[in-house]
Structure 1
Amino acid sequence: MTTGEELPCAHFTVDKQNIALWPREPPTKRDQPLALRKPSTICVVLTFLTLVLVTSILLQSILYSWLLGTISNVRTNAQLLKGRVDNISTGSSEIKRNRGGLKVASTQIQKVNVSLNQVRSQLLILETGLEKANSQIQVLTRSWAEVDVLNAQIPELKRDLDKASALNAKVRGLQNSLENMDKSLRQQNDILQMLSQGWKYFKGNFYYFSHVSKTWYSAQQFCTSRNSHLTSVTSENEQEFLYKTAGGGVYWIGLTKAGSEGDWYWADNTPFNKVQSARFWIPGEPNNVGSNEHCANIKITSLRSWNDASCDISLLFICKKPYIPSES
């Protein structure tokens, strides 16, 4: 190529997205217009602009496809976001509904915490009790060991106990004997004191045989002043003691009645045995002479010695009181 020769210009055609670029056959000299006969610089500029335009079209085509994909992705993401927002709204409603349940659950949890604290306190108490129980178990274990030792000694202790029991029996016998002796001595002392005062003793009772005569009522007052009563008679032995001690003298006894039609009774409130007492009356007595014989006396020395008489006559009398042991 010579320097004086012109460079061929680029020729292109655009059909939608297809671009064709090729060198144009050089025109014949007669076909070239004058306007196109310019320096090679213009061809370079045109070529550059053509490249820029082609590049722009390519970029727009590529960016259009990318934008379409991006818009589709944006729409998809928007739908996903809308679904999430709906889910969030639904969750918010659920949260609002569950808020009350959470408050109730919180209250229940507080109660459970209180109960747990109480359980902890009880557990502490139980632990303390277990420690004490363990200590006691240890003490009991030692005690059982001591018990085993004592069990080995039981036969010997039993023999000693038998000996001690025999000795205790002898001691109790001696104590009973001493108590009986002491009781007998006190009784004898009491009897001696009463005998020194003119009383006589017979089977647990003291009897006073007077030396002066009184009416039946005056005699009862005298006996009462000495913590006694005119004597009652409750057995054949007592009747025999009285008439023998009276020695044939006439003595008032405590038997009386209220009026002619009244029943006989004892002044010391001893129950009157009518059947038994029938053996002690003198035959034919009581006869209530003059309807005025309302008091009884011992008249003769005999088992059948009772006689009824007027309570106003003066006779000797017999007082009676039971023996009461003095305090030691």
Structure 2
Amino acid sequence: MKTAESEVPDAHFTVDKQNISLWPREPPPKTGSSLVLRKMCTVRAAVILLTLVLLASVLLQAVFYPWFMSALSDGKTNAQLLKARVANISSLSSEIKRNRGGVEAAGVQVQMVNASLGRVHSYIRRLETSVKEANARIQILTKSWEDVDNLNTRIPELKRDLDKASVLNEKVRGLQSSLENIRKSLKQQNDIIQMVSQGWKYFRGNFYYFSRVSKTWYSAEQFCTYRDSHLTSVTSESEQEFLYKTAGGLIHWIGLTKAGSEGTWKWVDDTPFDKVLSRRFWIPGEPNNYGHNEHCTNLKMPSLQSWNDAPCDTGFLFICKRPYKPSEP
């Protein structure tokens, strides 16, 4: 028996993927019993291997299944969180779009504020310059306080001098007024002398020219007009007296006329006609419009009542009247 067992060779096998190879240490003798034994060993080894694989698979499932399920749950949670974040991002995007207009308006306002700040800064700089100038003036005024104090002490004296000066000014103004009146009087006298030298006579602010040739009333008025005057008007008893006395009893045309037989009397120099005053100057019974052709007036008598109406185309001496106008200096 021992000899037989010692002669049986030891079996060896290798596993390469799913193939199982068995070989003896030494090549076995090629007998029928050996082949059967070899197949049984191969089947046994395969069963053992499959058992080991199943055990390994069960162990792997027992170990990795909880981890896999946990990982899957975490993935779902992360997916939900990611979805919520995406929704938040979408809402934030729409909010950003809505606020974009407000941001642009705020940008415009910021620009306006910046411009206003620029103007304020410029104004502040001008104020600073003004303050510097004011400080310089204050320093000058401060230096002048001593002079002001000196002037304050001299105010009573200056006031007395001012009073004296005021009195002197009044006297000077009085003298100036007197000198001006004298100047005007001398100038008037000079004007009067010049007019008198030309044949005019002066009476109470008017010059009168007593002609030496006879003319019709219209020709006489034309003569006076050429000399910046008119046939004389009469506005007072003193003027009437001056005229008839200077006329010396000779008939002279004056500037009183009327239009038509029923017309009203008027002065040719547009002086208002005073009917009440004129009644004192007509000769009694005049004006009578004799022959319905006496439309002009003359001085006929050497008396206060000396006016007479006569035909305008009759030739008489005449009197021109010209108001005094100061000549140019």
CA distance in 2, matches of 1:178, 1:291: 58
How far has the Cα of 1:107 moved from its partner?
1.6
Give the direction of change, closer, same or farther, for the CA distance of 1:248–1:177 in structure 2 (3 Å limit): same
> Which structure 2 residues correspond to residues 134-153 of structure 1 after superposition, within 5 A?
134-139=131-136, 141-142=138-139, 145=142, 146=144, 150=148, 153=151
- Tell me the distance in 1 between the aligned counterparts of 2:96 and 2:327: 96
Partner of 2:79: 82
Q: Which residue of 1 aligns with 2:121?
A: 124
Matches within 5 A, 1:262-281: 262-281=263-282
Aligned residue in 2 for 1:17: none
Give the 3 Å change call, closer, same or farther, for CA 160–285 of structure 1 in structure 2. same
**Greater Cα shift, 275-284 or 125-134:** 125-134
Report which stretch shifted further, 269-278 or 97-106: 97-106
List per-residue Cα deviations over 1:84-130 (Å, max 9, x = no partner).
21222212311331241243244234313312321231122122222
Output the CA distance in 2 between the equivalents of 1:200 and 1:210.
Answer: 11
- Count of equivalent residues: 271
Residue 148 and residue 104 in structure 1: after superposition, are their counterparts in 2 closer, same or farther (change >3 A)? farther
What RMSD, in angstroms, separates the aligned Cα atoms of the two structures? 2.8
Matches within 5 A, 1:240-255: 240-255=241-256
Is 1:228 equivalent to 2:225 in the alignment? no
2:80 aligned partner, one-letter code: G
Instruction: Give the percent of matched residue pairs that are identical in Structure 1 and Structure 2.
Output: 52
Structure 1 counterpart of 2:176: 175
Aligned match of 2:47: none
Where does the alignment leave 5 or more consecutive residues of structure 1 unmatched? 1-52
- 2:213 maps to 212
Where do 1:169-208 residues align within 5 Å?
169-208=170-209
Q: Which secondary structure state, in structure 2, belongs to the residue aligned with residue 313 of structure 1?
A: coil
TM-score, with normalisation over the residues of structure 1?
0.74
Equivalent AA in structure 1 for residue 237 of structure 2? E
Describe the shift of the 1:119–1:282 C-alpha distance in structure 2 as closer, same or farther (beyond 3 A).
Answer: same
Match of 2:238 in 1: 237
Q: Which has the higher helix share?
A: 2
Partner Cα distance (2:176, 2:78) in 1: 115
TM-score, scaled to structure 2: 0.73
**Equivalent residue letter for 1:110:** G
**Structure 1 residue 70: Cα displacement:** 3.3
Aligned partners of 1:147 and 1:172: how far apart in 2? Answer: 37
SS of residue in 2 equivalent to 1:296: strand
**For residues 108 and 218 of structure 1, do their structure 2 counterparts lie closer, same or farther at Cα, with a shift above 3 Å needed?**
closer
